[in-house]
Amino acid sequence: MNRLYSIKILYKWAVLLVVMLSSFYTVKAQVTDTLKEAKVKAKSPAKSTDARINTFSPGQTIVSIDSVTIEQYKFTSMANLLSQQVPVFVKSYGLNNIATLNFRGASAAQSQVYWNGVPIQNAALGIADVSLLPVELMNNINVVYGSSSALWGSGNVGGALMLENTLPSFSDEADFTSKVSAVAGSFQHYRFGIKTALTNKRFAIGINALARTIKNNFPYTDAKGNSYRMYNAQLANGTGLLQAAYKLNEKNTISFKGWYQQYEREIPPAIFESTSVKQQRDESLRLLLSWDRKGNKTKYYVRSSYIRDFMWYRDSLVQVNSKNITNQIYTEAGVEHRFNKHHHLLAYTPVQIAWIDRITLKDINYQNRYALALAYLYTAFDDKLNVSLNGRGEVINDLGIILPGVNASYKVAGWLLLKGNVQRTYRVPTLNELYYTPGGNSSLKPEQGWNEDIGYVVRKRGKVSVEHSLSYYNRVINDWILWFGGAIWTPHNIATVHSRGLQTENTITYRLNGKLKLKLGVNGSYTLATTQSSYIPNDGSINKQIPYTPLYQAQFNIGFSTKNLFFNYNHTYTGIRYITTDESYYLPEYTLGNIQLLYTSVLGGKQIQLTVQVNNIWGADYYVVNARPMPGVNWLAGISYMLY
């Protein structure tokens, strides 16, 4: 990707933003300016609009990202937010490369990502690149730990990232809002965005569009102490999100969401490569149409989505030119009914049809899933006891499975809550694992096992607020799938992997007066994920940590907020990661310091917001993945202004 092409892409998307803004400018709407002052206020996380999270998961560990944190990280990717604020290992291959999730020792394919209840991981790869997910598009971000296959489907083994966009709120009178943003950062990073919404009593429409370019030419040092500057690492992308809703009456609403993004990225060389001319183009189109009917005791919904992922990878040095298109149609219809204060039921029927069109090889492979799922919540003792019984019958092509689960919570006192979760886990091989050429393995067996976790939550509210949670988790997976080999890598079932450990989240908030609030947070995890048995004799993996699963992780946050200012210092620790199954080679531990600042004020009667981030302020030399250097000190500054 040359510099001229990068500029052309940025120019094209910038023009698109201006056109959209101009089109809304002509709208004649009565706009009432009621903004008196601007405040930085962390609302309690809304958790989710999905009943499976809010109602039928009382015993699961769920971390919800608060609104101020989302605002602070809104100009970055989901990979950056999660790696600094949530106890999950983000396996990043570099600043301009893929990043995947590792929940409690689970593989990337065992870690799911959902968008408004729809799975969005690549239908062929079975993974989602979280470096391609902009934080700014999302209103609710939840991380669900542990298996919940009965609720969310097979493949949900280690945990899930739940992303949601909330529709613009209907208003009694016609209302129009518009906000623009501009960002600059290290390594020639530039970004522009616009967010608009038009609403009235019956109709709401919102558009969020972003354009970005970055050269990523950061300096780094190799293992021998030689200094270099990264090259072939440019990125240019455009993203657009359209949301529209029509309220038929007080009970029925029809909504549509369309999310398109395009990434043109060069893939930089690993430190063992003398050069790289690799390039990759990623395009994703996600369409979602929903109908919701809300009654006093009964709710109905139907959602149907189409997702298309296009990937074009080329490397002229080895004459590779590969194009793949993966498609997914997902439809889910459900009914939720509350019989009385003790009994609550959810029944739904997910249907997923996925296929990959390998243009280069001129073939198509399919994977279809049909399911019937039930979730029942029993509440007793004045809401102190909540027990959720979940079950799913699922057919994957010609394979039928039953996925039971139960999770529960009990409030021992106003400040103490006990929680527990037991689920059967199951994951069939992905289309890529079965049919990739060369290297696919059509004889792979599904991964299966059980997941258990138990823990407690302590909450104390007041001038000094304390929240502390601790969970112990245990998971045994048989026929774990791992890629390895020589010139051609092939997936194999390596028998049994046992993952267990501890996870804790802790926050102390001190309200000094009506305006100043001090906050201290510490998150940590200990994960022991070892191979218990192997089909490969004498491979040296028995009782050894599986590759790229850090034994220890920790995150420390300390900061303060006033009426219009938020400041936070974040410090992360990631332990050693073995990169071979016999623990013969590993990457050293690393610690990173990061600063976040958010300032909100009023200019000309309109809200103006400034965000600043400085990452790796101590200039650590580190690798998350072998041979893929990460940048030293880097910064990002953005400004957004409410036009209307």
pLDDT at 26 over 70: no
- Label residue 43 by pLDDT band (50, 70, 90): very low
What would the two tokens of residue 81 be?
């937010």
pLDDT at 470 over 80: yes
Pairing of the two strands 159-164 and 111-115? parallel
Domains of the chain by residue range = 3-642
Q: Write down the pLDDT at residue 345.
A: 98
254 with 291: CB under 8 angstroms?
A: yes
Portion of the chain with pLDDT greater than 90, in percent: 75
Q: How far apart are CA 58 and CA 51, in angstroms?
A: 11
Nearest C-alpha neighbor of 481 from the set 107, 100, 105: 107
Q: Write down the pLDDT at residue 40.
A: 53
Neighbours of 555 (CB within 10 A): 22
Q: How far apart are CA 224 and CA 588, in angstroms?
A: 15
Please state the pTM of the whole predicted model: 0.91
pLDDT at 14 over 50: no
Let me know if domain 3-642 sits in CATH 2.40.170.20: yes
The arithmetic mean of pLDDT across residues 326-346, rounded, is 96
- Label residue 486 by pLDDT band (50, 70, 90): low
The arithmetic mean of pLDDT across residues 549-557, rounded, is 97
pLDDT at 35 over 80: no
The string of pLDDT tens digits covering residues 192-232 is: 999 999 999 999 999 999 999 999 999 988 777 888 899 99
The arithmetic mean of pLDDT across residues 432-458, rounded, is 91
Check residues 390 and 40 and name the one with the higher pLDDT: 390
Task: Determine the 3-state secondary structure of 22 from DSSP.
Answer: helix
Phi/psi-derived region of residue 21, left when phi > 0, alpha when psi is between -120 and 50, beta in every other case? alpha
The string of pLDDT tens digits covering residues 385-396 is: 999 999 999 999
Please, what is the average pLDDT of the chain? 89
The string of pLDDT tens digits covering residues 349-383 is: 999 999 988 777 777 888 999 999 999 999 999 99
Q: How far apart are CA 605 and CA 224, in angstroms?
A: 56
Q: Write down the pLDDT at residue 406.
A: 97
pLDDT at 20 over 80: no
pLDDT at 307 over 80: yes
- Label residue 438 by pLDDT band (50, 70, 90): confident
The string of pLDDT tens digits covering residues 280-305 is: 999 999 999 999 999 999 999 999 99
The arithmetic mean of pLDDT across residues 56-83, rounded, is 94
The arithmetic mean of pLDDT across residues 530-536, rounded, is 90
pLDDT at 27 over 70: no
The arithmetic mean of pLDDT across residues 453-467, rounded, is 95
Q: Write down the pLDDT at residue 576.
A: 97
CB neighbour list of residue 281: distance below 8 Å, 6 or more residues apart: 262, 263, 264, 265, 310, 311, 312
The arithmetic mean of pLDDT across residues 567-588, rounded, is 95
- Label residue 487 by pLDDT band (50, 70, 90): low
Q: Where are the alpha helices (DSSP H) in 325-381?
A: none
